[in-house]
Structure 1
Amino acid sequence: MPQLVFGWRKRKSDEVDGASKKQKKEEEEEKKKLEEQLKIQSQLIWGIKDKLKKHCSINDMKELLIANGQDVPSGESNVLDSLADGMAFGALEGCKECQGQLVFKGDSYYCTGDISAWTKCVFKTKTPSRKDWVIPKEFHEVPFLKKFKFKQQDRVYPKEAPAQTLKPVKAEPLASASSAPTERLQEQAPSDKPLTGMKLLAVGKLSKNKDDLKAAMEELGGKMTGTANKASLCLSSKKEVEKMSKKMEEVRDAGVRVVSEDFLTDIRSSGKALQELVSLHAISPWGAEIKSEPQAPTVSSKSGALAAKSSGRVKEEEGGSKAKKMKLTVKGGAAVDPDSGLENSAHVLEQNGKMYSATLGLVDIVRGTNSYYKLQLLEDDVHKRYWVFRSWGRVGTTIGGNKLDKFHDKNSALDNFLSVYKEKTGNDWGTSNFTKYPNKFYPLEIDYGQDEEAVKRLTASAGTKSKLDRPVQDLIKMIFDVESMKKAMVEFEIDLQKMPLGKLSKRQIQSAYALLTEVQQAVSASVPEAQILDLSNRFYTLIPHDFGMKKPPLLNNLDYVKAKVEMLDNLLDIEVAYSLLRGGAQDNEHDPIDINYEKLKTKIE
Structure 2
Amino acid sequence: MDVELPYMVEYSKTGRASCKGCKTPIPKDVVRIAVMVQSAFHDGKTPNWFHKDCFFKKQKPASVGDIKNFENLRFADQTEIKEMIGSGPVVVASKSGKRSKAEQAALKDFSIEYSKSSRAGCRGCELKINKDEIRVSKTVYDTEVGMKYGGQKVWHHLECFAQMRADIGWFDSGENLPGYKSLKKEDKELVLKTLPAIKSEDMPEVKKPKLEPNIEAEEKEKMKKLQKQNDVLFKYRDNIKKEMKKHDIEKLLRYNTQEPIPGDSEKLLDQAADLMAFGAIKPCPECKSTQFIFNKSGYSCNGNISEWTKCTQLLTEPKRTACKIPDELKSEYSFLSSYKKKPETRIIQYIPPSAATIAKDIAIKKNPDELDGPKVKREKPPLYNFKFSVVGLKEEEEEIKKRIAKLGGKCDSKITDGTIAVISTEKEVKKLSSRITKAKELGIHIVPMKYLDCVESDSSGALNFISSMTLCDWGTDPAARLPQDEIKSSKSKSIYTKSVPKSVTLKMKNGLVVDPGSGLENVAHVYVKGDDKYNVVLGLTDIQRNKNSFYKLQLLEADTKNKYWVYRSWGRIGTTIGNSKLEDFHSLIDAKQCFFDVYADKTGNDFRNRNNFVKMPGRMYPIDVQYDAGDESKQSKFDNIPSKLDPAVQKLVQLIFDVDTMKKTMMEFHIDMEKMPLGKLSLKQIQSAYTVVNEIYELIQQSGSNARFIDATNRFYTLIPHSFGVHAPPLIETIEQVESLRQMLDSLSEIEIAYNLIKHEDTSEEKNPLDKHYEKLKTQLEPIDKKSDEFKLLKNYVQNTHASTHSSYELEIIDVFKVARQGEARRYKPFKKLHNRKLLWHGSRLTNFVGILSHGLKIAPPEAPPTGYMFGKGIYFADMVSKSANYCCTSQQNSTGLMMLSEVALGDMMECTAAKYVTELPKGKHSCFGHGRTMPDPKESHFRDDGVEIPLGKPITDDKLKSSLLYNEFIVYDIAQVNIQYLFRMEFKYKY
TM-score (norm 1): 0.70
**2:567 alignment partner AA:** F
Q: How does 1:195-594 map to 2 (within 5 A)?
A: 297=487, 308=496, 314-315=501-502, 325-430=503-608, 431-449=610-628, 452-458=629-635, 461-462=638-639, 464-594=641-771
**1:157 alignment partner AA:** I
- 1:151 positional shift: 2.3
- 1:102 positional shift: 1.9
Matching residue within 342, 345, 357 for 1:154: 345
Structure 1 residue aligned with 2:254:
66
Matching residue within 279, 297, 302 for 1:112: 302
Q: How does 1:67-106 map to 2 (within 5 A)?
A: 67-74=255-262, 75-100=264-289, 101-106=291-296
Q: How does 1:135-150 map to 2 (within 5 A)?
A: 135-141=325-331, 142-150=333-341
Asked if the contact 1:363/1:541 (under 8 Å) is kept, the reply is: yes
DSSP-derived class of the 2:715 partner: helix
Counterparts of 2:274 and 2:647 in 1: how far apart (Å)? Answer: 79
DSSP-derived class of the 1:372 partner: strand
Counterparts of 2:288 and 2:369 in 1: how far apart (Å)? Answer: 31
Counterparts of 2:369 and 2:616 in 1: how far apart (Å)? Answer: 28
Counterparts of 1:307 and 1:577 in 2: how far apart (Å)? Answer: 36
DSSP-derived class of the 1:432 partner: helix
**1:582 alignment partner AA:** K
Q: Deviations over 1:111-156 (max 9, x none)?
A: 1111111111111011011111001111221221111112222101
Counterparts of 1:87 and 1:173 in 2: how far apart (Å)? Answer: 41
Counterparts of 1:310 and 1:444 in 2: how far apart (Å)? Answer: 26
DSSP-derived class of the 2:308 partner: coil
Structure 1 residue aligned with 2:319:
129
Per the alignment, do residues 354 and 454 of structure 1 end up closer, same or farther by CA in structure 2, a change over 3 Å counting? same
Counterparts of 2:560 and 2:306 in 1: how far apart (Å)? Answer: 47
DSSP-derived class of the 1:604 partner: strand
**2:577 alignment partner AA:** I
Counterparts of 2:642 and 2:765 in 1: how far apart (Å)? Answer: 11
- 1:416 positional shift: 0.5
**1:432 alignment partner AA:** N
Asked if the contact 2:539/2:721 (under 8 Å) is kept, the reply is: yes
- 1:542 positional shift: 0.6
Per the alignment, do residues 330 and 165 of structure 1 end up closer, same or farther by CA in structure 2, a change over 3 Å counting? closer
Matching residue within 47, 58, 70 for 2:235: 47
Asked if the contact 1:359/1:375 (under 8 Å) is kept, the reply is: yes
Counterparts of 1:60 and 1:120 in 2: how far apart (Å)? Answer: 28
Per the alignment, do residues 300 and 538 of structure 1 end up closer, same or farther by CA in structure 2, a change over 3 Å counting? farther
Per the alignment, do residues 299 and 23 of structure 1 end up closer, same or farther by CA in structure 2, a change over 3 Å counting? closer
**2:774 alignment partner AA:** Y
- 1:54 positional shift: 2.8
Residue segments in structure 1 that go unaligned for 5+ positions in a row: 1-20, 185-295, 316-324
- 1:109 positional shift: 0.1
Matching residue within 208, 217, 220 for 1:32: 220
Q: Deviations over 1:275-314 (max 9, x none)?
A: xxxxxxxxxxxxxxxxxxxxx947569xx87695599x63
Q: Deviations over 1:469-516 (max 9, x none)?
A: 111122222222222111222211111144332233332122212222
- 1:460 positional shift: 6.8
Counterparts of 2:621 and 2:706 in 1: how far apart (Å)? Answer: 23
- 1:524 positional shift: 3.0
Asked if the contact 1:173/1:365 (under 8 Å) is kept, the reply is: no
The structure that is strand-richer by fraction is: 2
**2:254 alignment partner AA:** I
Counterparts of 2:640 and 2:489 in 1: how far apart (Å)? Answer: 37
- 1:331 positional shift: 1.0
Counterparts of 2:546 and 2:640 in 1: how far apart (Å)? Answer: 49
Per the alignment, do residues 390 and 416 of structure 1 end up closer, same or farther by CA in structure 2, a change over 3 Å counting? same
Asked if the contact 2:302/2:311 (under 8 Å) is kept, the reply is: yes
With 337-346 and 413-422 compared, the bigger mean Cα shift is at 337-346
Counterparts of 2:636 and 2:493 in 1: how far apart (Å)? Answer: 31
Per the alignment, do residues 507 and 23 of structure 1 end up closer, same or farther by CA in structure 2, a change over 3 Å counting? closer
Per the alignment, do residues 114 and 478 of structure 1 end up closer, same or farther by CA in structure 2, a change over 3 Å counting? same
Counterparts of 2:236 and 2:495 in 1: how far apart (Å)? Answer: 51
Asked if the contact 2:671/2:722 (under 8 Å) is kept, the reply is: yes
Structure 1 residue aligned with 2:77:
none
Per the alignment, do residues 165 and 547 of structure 1 end up closer, same or farther by CA in structure 2, a change over 3 Å counting? closer
Q: Deviations over 1:335-367 (max 9, x none)?
A: 111111111211111111222010000111111
Asked if the contact 1:174/1:365 (under 8 Å) is kept, the reply is: no
Asked if the contact 1:92/1:131 (under 8 Å) is kept, the reply is: yes
Per the alignment, do residues 344 and 299 of structure 1 end up closer, same or farther by CA in structure 2, a change over 3 Å counting? farther
**1:90 alignment partner AA:** G
Q: Deviations over 1:387-423 (max 9, x none)?
A: 1111111111111211111111111000110111011
**1:33 alignment partner AA:** E
Per the alignment, do residues 541 and 307 of structure 1 end up closer, same or farther by CA in structure 2, a change over 3 Å counting? farther
Counterparts of 2:211 and 2:329 in 1: how far apart (Å)? Answer: 51
Counterparts of 1:343 and 1:163 in 2: how far apart (Å)? Answer: 50
**1:520 alignment partner AA:** Y
- 1:529 positional shift: 1.9
The count of corresponding residues between Structure 1 and Structure 2 is: 459
**2:328 alignment partner AA:** E
Asked if the contact 1:584/1:595 (under 8 Å) is kept, the reply is: yes
Per the alignment, do residues 391 and 24 of structure 1 end up closer, same or farther by CA in structure 2, a change over 3 Å counting? same
Q: Deviations over 1:246-285 (max 9, x none)?
A: xxxxxxxxxxxxxxxxxxxxxxxxxxxxxxxxxxxxxxxx
Counterparts of 1:102 and 1:172 in 2: how far apart (Å)? Answer: 26
With 420-429 and 49-58 compared, the bigger mean Cα shift is at 49-58
- 1:443 positional shift: 0.1
Asked if the contact 1:308/1:398 (under 8 Å) is kept, the reply is: yes
DSSP-derived class of the 2:697 partner: helix
Per the alignment, do residues 326 and 602 of structure 1 end up closer, same or farther by CA in structure 2, a change over 3 Å counting? closer
Structure 1 residue aligned with 2:121:
none
Which of the pair has the greater relative contact order for Cα pairs under 8 Å at 6+ separation?
1
Percent of aligned pairs sharing the same letter = 41
Asked if the contact 1:536/1:554 (under 8 Å) is kept, the reply is: yes
Per the alignment, do residues 471 and 308 of structure 1 end up closer, same or farther by CA in structure 2, a change over 3 Å counting? farther
**2:611 alignment partner AA:** S
Counterparts of 1:165 and 1:602 in 2: how far apart (Å)? Answer: 59
- 1:333 positional shift: 1.7
